[in-house]
Amino acid sequence: MKTTFATKEIVERIAAQYPTPFYLYDEKGIRENARKLKQAFAWNKGYREYFAVKATPNPFILKILQEEGCGVDCSSLTELMMSEACGFSGSDIMFSSNVTPAEDFKLAKKLGAYINLDDITHIDFLEQVAGLPETIFCRYNPGGHFEIETHVMDNPGEAKYGFTTQQLIDGFKILMQKGVKHFGLHAFLASNTVTNAYYPKLARVLFETAVMLKKETGADIRFVNLSGGVGIPYRPEQEPNDILAIGEGVRQAFEEIMVPAGLGDVAIFTELGRFMLGPYGNLITKAVHEKHIYKEYIGVDACAANLMRPAIYGAYHHITVLGKENAPCDHKYDVTGGLCENNDKFAVDRMLPKIDMGDYLAIHDAGAHGFSMGYNYNGKLRSAEILLCEDGSFKLIRRAETPADYFATFDFTGLFPQK
């Protein structure tokens, strides 16, 4: 059984001031999770989490994580700008992008961010547009399939990201010739894994590659970035990752591979988004229509424009009908939004308690890649974001869009004749 930090009483208090739909984030849960992650990697004196801004790009969230000692992982100009406005600079920022515009590299270099190159051609491009820093990261793509035991986790060979093995060797040599002094290695080989084995297996790949690169190039390797990929249990029957066990698995690999190679001082970085925020955000919506045809439908005031993962991925998000947590789940519903698309469904054939009009529904695990993937199809407006503070109060951290926001980028001058 999945439970949520949102309660009917809390949601009713908020909805009296800020109508549904809205995103609700749990400050207490976010802080506790960040501290547990830090504990898991406390064995590595240089360890740092760089939160993936793309997962939940909200300054209030970033400030909470900053207070917990996290840096930020940015992938665009606007994410860099937001991070700078929040007080991140220099080694607080990891800039990992692909098909990178010149302006993005220029700002990353100006801010003193760690720059993570996605391709060997970016060496010359970065040098031309912004100059090369003394420290640089390179993203590794080993190709083929990434497997844990006999289970294929993902297919790096089909991914657009990263250097091949030979390109890493050549790239490190070129960068050293151009004056780069210190290096980091990065890879992202599987997404949303719910297994304690992923990070330790990835760490072994990167640690062995780091040892090889040191031998082949003589480079001063200072950092290994395990990136993201540690997932969350969206389904109630899934066991969550044990981050303490994961940290211990990485430590064992580090002791076996890095320490004997003279790389025992290398700092470990992570770039987690979903793990950091996913369980600590709910999309709160209200039942506004019901329909009885070939199936039973409950229409809510949120839609795929608020949370698109179920529509585009068929992703499962658990739903709690607030105030009916202990009621029997004896009604089968499709829970739908109001878009003119048949895939605008938060749940299909989901067994839930009887839903009455006006009931509030909490859609779980929407704290990462939820609001940030929103859009304006059908003229739908992005919802508010609200923080449930540790003391039980709540705070508006992003207001809902209005029609004026939707029309703000149009220039109506001359479009309509003056009367």
- List the beta bridge partners of residue 51: 72
Ramachandran angles phi, psi of 42, nearest 5° = -65, -20
Could you confirm whether 74 is annotated as catalytic? no
Are the C-beta atoms of residues 254 and 297 closer than 8 Å to each other? no
Distance from C-alpha of 41 to C-alpha of 29, rounded to nearest angstrom = 19
* 8 Å CB contact between 104 and 97: yes
Give the CA dihedral 11, 12, 13, 19, nearest 10 degrees.
80
Q: Are 48 and 222 in contact (CB under 8 A)?
A: no
d(CA 11, CA 279): 17
Inter-residue contact 144 to 156 (CB < 8 Å): yes
Q: Which residues touch 319 (CB under 8 Å, ≥6 apart)?
A: 335, 346, 347, 350, 352, 361, 362, 363, 364
Instruction: Say which residue the tokens 């770039």 belong to.
Output: 271
Query: Which two three-digit tokens encode residue 16?
Result: 């009296």
The amino acid at residue 241 is N
The residue annotated as part of the active site, out of 74, 303, 329, 340, is 340
Mind telling me the catalytic residues? 340
